Amino acid sequence: METLESLRTLYDQPFLSLLTRARSVHVAHHPESEIQRCELVNIKGGGCPEDCRYCAQSARHTTALAPHKLLDAPSLLRAAEEARAHGATRLCLGAAWRGLKEGDGRLEEVCRLVEAIRGEGLEICVTLGLLGPAAARRLREAGVTIYNHNLNSGPSFYGKVATTHTFADRLSTLRAAREAGLRLCSGGILGMGESVDDRLEMLQALLELDPAPESVPLNLLVPIPGTPLASQPPVNPFDLIRLISVTRVVLPRSRIRLAAGRRSLSLEAQALCFLAGANSLFIGERLLTTPNASFDADRALFETLGIEPSAPESCAPFRR
């Protein structure tokens, strides 16, 4: 198992050596130019009781976001069809909740939504907050195949990310999802004021889940006016590329998603992220509450780099 020191040694090697190493690991395990396309739908927006300092949807911050109730099945079906027409293979449904327990009426409502789109040929990922084992099993039964729950940062920094739940709560949700037979999607956010070691501690925690998540989204903080992190300075793209490279070396088979914040990166910086091992992204006009890279910008990106779309993946969790 990797120690923080060994991850740091990997991270600190000369940039081009690290990039070359990551690329060689990448091509040994993945098709060279293939990138998975995922699309997000915010099925329930805003009004969340948690205090995550980065989040537009926390009821504890005064942001411009108008909360909305759970989407109805026909609207979700339309969104799923549009996502497929855009070329997405995975649909990720997000809800601004603390979490769900078995017996909560909202769990059954989400299951009905999932059942409404399970014939659409998309992988269905949901991100609903903290989850216990029975709720995770119920979602699996309804047709969910992936659970997204980001660790967001390392354990030492987590107290500065949120105080209404703990890092350990997040880990136990991931374990419950895994035990229910769900694939895991878990990563984090760069740019909240954390150190490089905090980011590597997060990576270490993902590795310790053993098997580690099949998907690792790496988000750049999208600063939201009205949140405590509204004025955070932007992340140096080389720090992101280094983190993607280290993640690729230690998690050779996982998909690494260049997630939120892609709009703030040049085409050249995105190309280096893919060279370092990122092989998944969000397409579509919106993330959850903020704009995403435009279809025109993405068309130029895919054409310039000769990127090919991936096929939908099998549902079985993989073993390392």
- Of the candidates 125, 69, 129, 70, the residue with the CA atom closest to the CA atom of residue 99: 129
Quote the tokens at residue 302: 């895919």
Give the Cα separation of 188 and 168 in Å (integer): 15
Alpha carbon separation from 317 to 2, 26, 125, 162 (Å, rounded) = 22, 20, 13, 29
Q: Residues for the chain: how many in total?
A: 320
Residue from 30, 35, 76, 94 touching ligand DTB (CB under 6 A): that is: 94
| Cα–Cα dist 201/169, whole Å | 16
Contact call for residue 50 and ligand SF4 (CB under 6 A) = yes
Q: Is 125 marked active-site?
A: yes
Contact letters for ligand DTB, residues 241-270 (x by CB under 6 A)? ------------------xx----------
Choose between 21 and 239: whose C-beta lies nearer to ligand DTB. Answer: 239
Cβ–Cβ < 8 Å for 286, 246: no
Query: Is 150 a binder of ligand SAM (CB under 6 A)?
Result: yes
What are the start-end ranges of the H helices in the chain?
4-12, 15-29, 73-86, 105-117, 133-142, 167-179, 196-208, 237-250, 267-276, 295-305
Each residue 198-227 as x (binds ligand DTB by CB under 6 A) or -, in order, gives -------------------x-x--x-----
Interacting residues with ligand SAM (CB under 6 A): 54-55, 57, 94, 96-97, 127, 129, 149-150, 152, 189, 219, 221-222, 224, 260, 288
Interacting residues with ligand SF4 (CB under 6 A): 48, 50, 52, 55, 57-58, 96, 98, 129
Interacting residues with ligand DTB (CB under 6 A): 40, 56, 92, 94, 127, 148, 150, 187, 217, 219, 222, 259-260, 287-290
